[in-house]
Amino acid sequence: MRPIPVVKPKDLAETLRYLEEGGKPIAGGTDILVAIRKGLEKPPFLVYIGELSELRVLEEKEEGIEVGAALTHLELLSHRGTERLPILRQALRTIGSPAIRATGTIGGNVVTASPAGDSLVALYLLEAQVRLVSQAGERMLPIHEFITGPRKTALKSGEIVRSIFLPYPEGEPLSFFRKVGRRRALVIAVASLGALVWSKNGRVEKARLALGSVAPTILRPREVEEALVGRPVSPEAWEDLVPVLSAATNPISDLRASAEYRRKVAGRLLLALAQTLQTMA
Amino acid sequence: MLLRFRLNGRPVEVETPPGRRLLDLLRQDLGLIGTKEGCGEGECGACTVVVDGKPRLSCLTLAIQVEGKDVLTVEGLAQGGKNHPLQEAFIEAAGVQCGFCTPGLLMAAYALLLHRPNPTKEEVREWLSGNLCRCTGYEQIVEAVMQAAQKFKGIGGGRA
Ligand SMILES: Cc1cc2nc3c(=O)[nH]c(=O)nc-3n(C[C@H](O)[C@H](O)[C@H](O)COP(=O)(O)OP(=O)(O)OC[C@H]3O[C@@H](n4cnc5c(N)ncnc54)[C@H](O)[C@@H]3O)c2cc1C
Ligand code: FES
Ligand code: FES
């Protein structure tokens, strides 16, 4: 591979100048270097942001944590600050292999905006906010507005993801994350399901579900979330929601799995969730 | 750029484009051909090295990303002409057939032992999950790492 031009700015201000000139950020490089190699991306030059101190802080706030975009999955997994967000840890733990987790960043996962992005399932469940900065100023977008389609985001040219705000959920929801894939490590799930479920006396009070790889973006099946309220926590009591969930999905067929198979897996994951909750309660 | 970093315990300075792949820098510019290129896109782990104590794919790493860092390649495992316990264990447990995957596996295993001197089999499988081997079927490799863990303690533990 011919070396691609890359600069290493010393701070955020210099970074934003380079981005205005048309540079494209590289953090861990685990997505963009593959894309460049495959000819899918041809940036004029790269701006290495992986070690910028402004993007590498984790701030613990009253209502949640604000994580710097250039923190790696491994750093987030081992940081005390993510302890109160088990759903985040459960999702990050399934990413790639140890080398990928030690290299890839949460900012990179968000901007790649893959329908299979594992951190994204947790971010949709937590209703995370993405903090963007450019020379023009700063703005915040909810994750589901930041991601606009498969591998598409609302990021404007000259803009960078500085951090992601993850609010602590109210109360004590149980959290669940499961990914079904062809191989245990490495790339892309066939389907994944994450959930936060608040329950009392064996009944669901509130539920948030998020599915990966079964739609153009991460999917929050609201109709299923609503239908779960008041139901007993048991697979039998959820059986009739399996087709509802399958119908909510809009998967593609690809090398890894057919659309039909993905739909089926999504349904099975719902029952696996019920089963797991039953044993946890 | 003039790139400075530590390589196998020694400081190095090398003139390189900052966007050069670490893999090419090691193999072509520095003559360290132990690190292998399988797929070139993150899928096989043959190019695994250890950077600041953590496993890293050198095919997906640019020169500028290791500036000032501590890089260990398979050439840095043996000390004073003696194989590292991991290398010995791979040979004893028949964890090597064609050997193409071996340097990457050794480095992934080394990183594991830095973090978990007494890993479970499950942890070994997890830490080697990014490394493909077309020959052995993995069982011997997991066995080799378990054996090495026994001998490894105190031998090269703290070094990255
Ligand atoms: C072998 C392999 C296995 C993988 N397995 C998984 C997996 O199981 N699950 C999963 O979700 N992903 C997986 N991935 C994908 C990838 O590792 C993750 O998406 C990772 O989080 C990307 O982070 P990065 O820092 O390496 O991104 P980079 O490659 O550095 O950047 C990715 C994109 O984001 C942009 N970008 C990065 N940071 C910022 C920022 N702060 N602001 C604006 N733009 C930015 C870049 O310009 C680029 O377009 C895998 C990749 C490989 C190679
Ligand atoms: S050559 Fe780097 S992962 Fe295959
Ligand atoms: S020994 Fe041949 S690929 Fe592993």
Q: What is the mean pLDDT of residues B129-143?
A: 92
Query: For residue B159, is pLDDT > 60?
Result: no
Yes or no: say if B101 and B45 are a contact pair by the CB < 8 Å rule: yes
pTM of the model: 0.96
Q: What is the share, in percent, of chain B residues with pLDDT greater than 70?
A: 95
Set out the domains of chain B in order of their start, with CATH numbers: 2-76 (3.10.20.30), 85-156 (1.10.150.120)
Query: For residue A1, is pLDDT > 70?
Result: no
Distance of CA B105 to the CA centre of its chain: 6
Distance CA B35, CA B128 (A): 16
User: In this structure, which amino acid lies at residue B55?
Assistant: P
CB pair distance less than 8 Å for A103 and B64? no
Chain A residues within an 8 Å CB radius of B56: 99, 102-103
Q: What is the pLDDT of residues A22-75, one digit of tens each?
A: 999 999 999 999 999 999 999 999 999 999 999 999 999 999 999 999 999 999
Name the helix (H) or strand (E) containing B55: strand B54-57
Q: Please report, for chain A, how many H helices and E strands are present, in that order.
A: 12, 13
Query: For residue A256, is pLDDT > 80?
Result: no
Q: What is the pLDDT of residue B156?
A: 52
- A50 part of contact set with chain B, CB < 8 Å: yes
Query: For residue A260, is pLDDT > 90?
Result: no
Query: Taking CA A43 as the corner, what is the angle to CA A72 and CA B65, rounded to the nearest 5 degrees?
Result: 35
Query: For residue A184, is pLDDT > 50?
Result: no
Distance CA A60, CA A82 (A): 9
Set out the domains of chain A in order of their start, with CATH numbers: 53-167 (3.30.465.10), 174-280 (3.30.390.50)
Q: What is the pLDDT of residues B18-75, one digit of tens each?
A: 999 999 999 999 999 999 999 999 999 999 999 999 999 999 999 999 999 999 999 9
Return the residue matching tokens 């840890």.
Answer: A89
Site residues for ligand 3, CB cut-off 6 Å: B 96-101, 133-136
Distance of CA A53 to the CA centre of its chain: 23
Residue A208: phi and psi, rounded to 5, are -120, 130
Q: What is the pLDDT of residue A183?
A: 53
Q: Please report, for chain B, how many H helices and E strands are present, in that order.
A: 5, 5
Chain B residues within an 8 Å CB radius of A30: 42, 57, 60
pLDDT tier, A207 (very low <50, low <70, confident <90, very high otherwise): very high
Distance CA A199, CA A232 (A): 9
Minimal CA separation from B40 to chain A, in Å: 8
Residue A197: phi and psi, rounded to 5, are -130, 125
Residue A179: phi and psi, rounded to 5, are -125, 135
Q: What is the share, in percent, of chain A residues with pLDDT greater than 70?
A: 96
CA of B45 to the centre of ligand 2 (A): 5
Yes or no: say if B58 and B103 are a contact pair by the CB < 8 Å rule: no
pLDDT tier, B86 (very low <50, low <70, confident <90, very high otherwise): very high
Distance CA A85, CA A60 (A): 12
The per-residue pLDDT of chain A, averaged, comes to 94
Q: What is the mean pLDDT of residues A145-172?
A: 97
Q: Give the list of residues 6+ apart from residue A177 with CB closer than 8 angstroms, or none.
A: A87, A90, A91, A94, A121, A122, A192, A193, A194, A195
Query: For residue B158, is pLDDT > 50?
Result: no
Distance CA A208, CA A218 (A): 13
Interface probe for A, chosen from B25, B51, B54, B65 (most Cβ of A below 10 Å), is B65
A65: closest CA among A44, A51, A78, A79?
A79
Q: What is the mean pLDDT of residues A228-246?
A: 96
